[in-house]
Amino acid sequence: MCGIGGWIGYQEGGEKVADCIRQALHHRGPDGYGIRSFPSATLVHTRLSIIDLSESGAQPMGNENGTIWSICNGEIYNHRELRKDLEGKGHTFKGHSDSEVIPHLYEELGASFVERLRGMFAIAIYDGRTRTLFITRDRFGIKPIFYAPSKAWLAFASELRALLCVPGIDTRPDRQAVYDSTSLLYIPAPETFYRGIRAVQAGEILEAHLVQDGEVAWKTRQYWKGVIAPDQRRSLSEAVDQVEELITAAVRRQLESDVPLGALLSGGIDSSLVSTAAQRLLAGTLRTFNVRFSVQKYDETPAALAVAKHIGSRHTTLDMEEGRGTWEQVLGLLKHVGQPFADLSIFAVNAVSRVMRGHVTVALSGDGGDEGFGGYDVYWQLARIARMQRLPGVVWETIALALGPLVNPAIVPAHIPSRLREVAQADDVQVVQDLFTWIHRDELHRLCLDHEKMMPIRRLFEQQWEHRLPHNVDRTERLSALATEANARVTLASAFLFKVDIASMREGLEVRVPMLDEELFSFGLSLPHKLKVKARECKLVLREVAARQLPSSVARKPKHGFGVPLDRWVNGEFRSQVRESLLSPSSPLPEFFQQDGYEPMVKAFCNGSFSDGLSREALAQRIVFLLSVHVAAGGPV
């Protein structure tokens, strides 16, 4: 795991820009760095040594005659098979680093080299023969990479703030991206907070080359899309047998490391299955870690301890104590993220990463199991909605009218009659959008200045997904497929994986995700809805695998999100600083939002009260979101 950056084309003050990028990415690669400049390009790499700790593993890496150079952030799990094949074709290697296969594989296959890679990665290759730069990202977007195109150059980097080293980038806020993040609480790729910066999407490759007049021409294409093709013939027992084998194989592939390795054991099914397989394959030497909260609703420590005891791992628990979170901690991490973001678990991931880094350099996690195997409540909710929508419209209207006179918060929430009408009339995309957005349209209308920019899921669906969903299936299966597509294409890469990368790499910790092994995840995509959800129990196949390997208290435990009780974790100074910053006359928030839409929330949070019936967690999320916008837009802190 490392940091990468650079550019193709003319860049004034290139040496200083390269050094600025190096410094901005130092935390991602504290073990060393490499900068290689060419007449028309520069590659920058900061190194976190994982495989081949010698100088032979240093990057950038070139082919035998020095015409092709590459830099890689991540791990190539099938590098040994690729190396053997390349050696058979006459290629020679200096060391045994996984990244060293990349320039040689590109030399053999061109841009299609990426289709042979199995791993998590963001890669840049400069081909001096054709003055072409290739940038690509793994199939699921485990490793991030951003780029800034212009007429005379195209720059790229692992993190947004490293790209801000490059002069001439349009850093004005992208209002569409801000409004998308208002409903999702993160910015979906390829958008970023800045007009002049974009994110390479999961499974995408970018090609940029210099044309004769010195300009840079570029284009992107998807090299992997994944296929959602439910196989109705598969039985539950067959699926469980195969998934059990696939998990073991995926973990085995991801255990290679020349530095200490551990696992983040939250106590959920996914991380427990990964930890169980790793402990077995490592012959009982695995170290596991979890976070403990004083608020019982958020704490999974009993389950984590039960699994650690069951598998015999050496376990460490980190306490997130009440009143210990400071303004500096929250602000520092939000500045590091660099754009609107409000998944509160980022604070816990960062805290546990800091502790883990004192013991290990590589960590396994259970991320990706929910997306591949139907692990969210949304999946049983979709089945219920599909059944409800079969009712005639007159039935819905009669129910709504009957509930109208009873509207009283103590009896029927005021929004229920109107929501019933919405559900009755919603198409597939609207149903999924409403379930995937954190803020309902009514609140968005009160908050946002531009109401025409508030449909991110529908826009993304119409642009990218429609042709990939199964047809000639019942409504439940189609809604389930659409939800899986939204999870895998948007939420996973732009929210969950981005969070884990930014929070862990800030501490120099590499996190690997066996549940996102291509073969395992693709098998999950092939499962029909009936093998994902039974009544209100989700992730059916993984639960059955867990029942074979784990205590029943863990295998049948309801889904528990990795949340953080932020309103209790932060101290009193944090609340006063929130008020001072977000309600400051010089805050940039009024450029995006209506003040009477967000000021009541800020005051309620700072007073320790509630706002418009929002839960404590929902209110805290909105505050962190507003603060992240404030920080990204340069507001005073």
CATH number for the domain spanning 551: value is 3.40.50.620
Mean pLDDT of 143-166: 97
Pair 156, 34 in one domain: yes
Single out the residue in 531, 546, 566 at which a domain terminates.
566
Per-residue pLDDT at 284 exceeds 80: yes
Per-residue pLDDT at 420 exceeds 60: no
- Check if 606 is active-site: no
Distances, alpha carbon 219 to alpha carbons 135, 403, 637, in Å = 11, 54, 39
Helix (H) or strand (E) holding 607: helix 595-607
Considering the domain boundaries, does residue 324 fall inside one? yes
Residue ranges of the annotated binding site are 98, 264, 291, 365-366
Percent above pLDDT 90 for the chain? 65
Of residues 407 and 296, more confidence is placed in 296
Pair 211, 132 in one domain: yes
Single out the residue in 551, 566, 581 at which a domain terminates.
566
pLDDT band at 402 (very low <50, low <70, confident <90, very high): low
pLDDT band at 417 (very low <50, low <70, confident <90, very high): low
Considering the domain boundaries, does residue 398 fall inside one? no
pLDDT band at 174 (very low <50, low <70, confident <90, very high): very high
Catalytic residue among 2, 20, 72, 606: 2
Range with the poorest average pLDDT among 270-279, 428-437, 613-622: 428-437
pLDDT band at 269 (very low <50, low <70, confident <90, very high): very high
Pair 210, 232 in one domain: no
Per-residue pLDDT at 408 exceeds 80: no
Of residues 567 and 402, more confidence is placed in 567
pLDDT band at 467 (very low <50, low <70, confident <90, very high): low
Q: What is the Cα–Cα distance from 383 to 133, expressed in whole angstroms?
A: 46
Pair 541, 591 in one domain: no
Per-residue pLDDT at 305 exceeds 50: yes
Determine phi and psi for 315, rounding to 5 degrees.
Answer: -110, 140
Mean pLDDT of 530-549: 92
Pair 356, 431 in one domain: yes
Of residues 293 and 395, more confidence is placed in 293
Pair 530, 580 in one domain: no
Considering the domain boundaries, does residue 364 fall inside one? yes
Mean pLDDT of 429-434: 76
pLDDT at 464 (0 to 100): 58
Mean pLDDT of 3-27: 95
Pair 602, 491 in one domain: no
Q: What is the pLDDT of residues 316-354, one digit of tens each?
A: 998 887 657 889 999 999 999 999 999 999 999 999 999
Range with the poorest average pLDDT among 170-174, 197-201, 453-457, 475-479: 453-457
Q: What is the pLDDT of residues 79-115, one digit of tens each?
A: 999 999 999 999 999 999 999 999 999 999 999 999 9
Considering the domain boundaries, does residue 412 fall inside one? no
The distance of Cα 413 from the centroid of its chain, to the nearest Å, equals: 34
Residue recorded with tokens 């006359």: 585
Determine phi and psi for 291, rounding to 5 degrees.
Answer: -110, 135
Pair 554, 586 in one domain: no
Considering the domain boundaries, does residue 119 fall inside one? yes
Q: What is the Cα–Cα distance from 176 to 452, expressed in whole angstroms?
A: 9
Pair 120, 194 in one domain: yes
pLDDT at 632 (0 to 100): 97
Percent above pLDDT 70 for the chain? 89
Of residues 458 and 445, more confidence is placed in 445
Q: What is the number of domains present in the chain?
A: 3
Per-residue pLDDT at 427 exceeds 90: no
Range with the poorest average pLDDT among 216-230, 472-486, 532-546: 472-486
The 3-state DSSP class for residue 68 equals strand
pLDDT at 422 (0 to 100): 65
What CATH number does the domain containing 97 carry? 3.60.20.10
Of residues 102 and 486, more confidence is placed in 102
pLDDT band at 456 (very low <50, low <70, confident <90, very high): low
Pair 610, 532 in one domain: no
pLDDT band at 189 (very low <50, low <70, confident <90, very high): very high
Per-residue pLDDT at 406 exceeds 60: no
Q: What is the Cα–Cα distance from 30 to 259, expressed in whole angstroms?
A: 14
Pair 13, 99 in one domain: yes
pLDDT band at 535 (very low <50, low <70, confident <90, very high): confident
DSSP result, 527-596: S-GGGTEETTEE-HHHHHHHHHHS-HHHHTPPP------HHHHB-HHHHHHHHHHHTSTT-SGGGTB-HH
Mean pLDDT of 261-275: 96
Per-residue pLDDT at 412 exceeds 60: no
Considering the domain boundaries, does residue 342 fall inside one? yes
Burial 455-488 (b: 16+ CB within 10 A, else e): bbbebbbeeebeeebeeebebbbbbbbbbbbbbb
DSSP result, 133-164: EEEEE-TT--S--EEEE-SSEEEEESSHHHHT
pLDDT band at 409 (very low <50, low <70, confident <90, very high): very low
Pair 159, 302 in one domain: no
Considering the domain boundaries, does residue 49 fall inside one? yes
Q: Is residue 197 packed enough to be buried (19+ CB in 10 Å), middle (13-18) or exposed (0-12)?
A: buried
pLDDT at 187 (0 to 100): 95
Of residues 579 and 611, more confidence is placed in 579
Single out the residue in 517, 536, 566 at which a domain terminates.
566
Strands (E), 151-294: 153-157, 198-199, 204-210, 216-222, 261-264, 287-293
pLDDT at 470 (0 to 100): 62
Token pair for 13? 């003050």
Mean pLDDT of 240-261: 97
Q: What is the pLDDT of residues 111-132, one digit of tens each?
A: 999 999 999 999 999 999 999 9
Range of the domain at 582: 571-632
Considering the domain boundaries, does residue 411 fall inside one? no
DSSP-derived secondary structure letter, 172: S
Within a 10 A sphere around the Cβ of 281, how many other Cβ atoms? 14
Q: Is residue 310 packed enough to be buried (19+ CB in 10 Å), middle (13-18) or exposed (0-12)?
A: middle
